[in-house]
Amino acid sequence: MERKDAWNKYGDNAKKKVFSFAEDYREFISKCKTERECVKEAVVLARKAGFIDLNGAIAKKTKLKAGDKVYAVNKGKAIALFTIGKDSIEEGMNILGAHIDSPRLDIKQNPLYEDTGLAFLDTHYYGGIKKYQWVTLPMAIHGLVSLKNGKNVEITIGEDMSDPVVGVSDLLIHLASKQMEKKGSTVVEGEALNVLVGSMPIKKKADAKKADKANDGADSKDMAMREAVKAKVLAILKKKYNIEEEDFLSAELCVVPAGPARDYGIDQSMIMGYGHDDKVCAYPSLIAQLEVKAPKRTSVCILVDKEEIGSVGATGMHSKFFENTCAEVIALLGSYSDLALRRALSNSNMLSSDVSAAYDPNYPSVSEKNNSAYFGGGLVFNKYTGARGKSGSNDASAEYLAAVRKVMDDADVAFQTSELGKVDAGGGGTIAYILGNYGMNVVDSGVAVQNMHAPYEVISKVDLYEAYKGYVAFLKNAKKLD
């Protein structure tokens, strides 16, 4: 089948919309590198668009009606947004789902140590990564420290140009003969991803009191002699954030590539940045949801955490958050019953929005050209993902794919279909199968990405824009299947 390049749809004036949307997205991923930051920004945007907090509506016993807009946040790491449609919610919803967590280096609970006059933070990598890609890069620290008094201290180090950055060292090539003989999976070991954060010892006199306080009463002179660099780091953290070493026990801190996403390519047609997987799907899903007004069917956007490690836990898609939130919405519509909830879920349509692997001519052996995603091809649909014999995938029905095709064609959305590499070459999964458990129609859709799970990934701006257009069309026009 002939593939048309989506760029050819746009003249010079129309391309301005593509680039404008891409710039908004570039700014979003530059400042929203963690799931907490994404949710925080999503709430700001939702409130500007007229959404109200579902918990507030519940407290006031607000009756919802067509056109009303509500959102619910799950522990600061996931968010669901609803725009009530004209049809009964029991007839089903049109749902966009994506994840907002990305591979990174998580800082351990007892992380700070000193070795030969250097201070390090010990890490445990999160999600599937090639560990050797995460060394010798300028990195930033993001997250929060939760104190025993109930306060949370937000931390961002390395994003402002006046900030220092941190990073993981690598073995110099002059001494790396043995290292170069190793398999790629062991060139850098997981326990070697230690982040260098300091090399200056604390001053024995001027900083003695600070060292004493920062180390829970340990003798400052002894500390200055034994772990003077670690003491200096703790003194800085105490001064700037008023946190102690023990507060790492209740912290969620991660290390990610520092700096903003950048235009990529001499023609500026692409964006290179951290976290395209899966914010390149989450952002257009969110904006589509915010822009849809008075839909026929209730429209929903759900952005979740923990997809990169199996969608587990209280903030992953496997949790009951989405189901419980749907129940609360139905109750405020005045028609709650368990049967009404089950009908609403099973009659729904969903686009499980997650990235797909872009065909890379540098590595053609792992892809089958007729069933690969390409830059410029537009929104990608994966009928199934999984591994080997489609294991772990949601395999969408032919009837649903036909319905989705019509929605996209009617809205002039450029789209393509893909598999995740050659049969038996690898595989992966999304949140699609989890929502499919309710009996709803689900298909994987998203944006093609190069360098997936690397510190810096690449996407095409026009694919991003076609995804946005496709998501808007889906929320407005997808119908219940008989």
Task: Find all residues with CB under 8 Å of 351, minimum gap 6, and list them.
Answer: 95, 96, 97, 285, 404, 442, 443, 444, 445, 470, 471, 474
Q: Do 6-102+274-477 and 104-257 agree at the fold level?
A: no
| CATH placement of domain 104-257 | 2.30.250.10
Q: Rounded CA gap, 244 and 249, in Å? A: 10
Q: Which tens digit of pLDDT belongs to each residue from 217-252? A: 545 545 545 799 999 999 999 999 999 999 999 999
Residue ranges per structural domain of the chain: 6-102+274-477, 104-257
Q: What is the CA radius of gyration of the chain?
A: 24
**CB of 353 within 8 A of CB of 285?**
yes
Q: Which tens digit of pLDDT belongs to each residue from 315-363? A: 999 999 999 999 999 999 998 999 999 999 999 999 999 999 999 999 9
Q: Rounded CA gap, 103 and 123, in Å? A: 13
Q: Which tens digit of pLDDT belongs to each residue from 36-66? A: 999 999 999 999 999 999 999 999 999 999 9
Ranges of residues in the chain whose predicted pLDDT is under 50:
218, 221, 224
pLDDT of residue 211: 54
Which one, of 252, 305, 315, 273, lies nearest residue 105 by Cα? 252
Residue type, 373: A
**CB of 373 within 8 A of CB of 444?**
no
pLDDT of residue 294: 87
| Superfamily of domain 6-102+274-477 in the CATH hierarchy | Zn peptidases (3.40.630.10)
Name the one residue in this structure whose structure tokens are 């090639």: 130
pLDDT of residue 205: 54
pLDDT of residue 213: 56
Beta bridge partners of 350: 95, 442
Q: Which helix (H) or strand (E) holds 221?
A: helix 220-226
First to last CA, the chain: 29
**DSSP at 446:** E
Q: Which conformational region is residue 225 in: left (phi greater than 0), alpha (psi within -120 to 50 degrees), or beta?
A: alpha
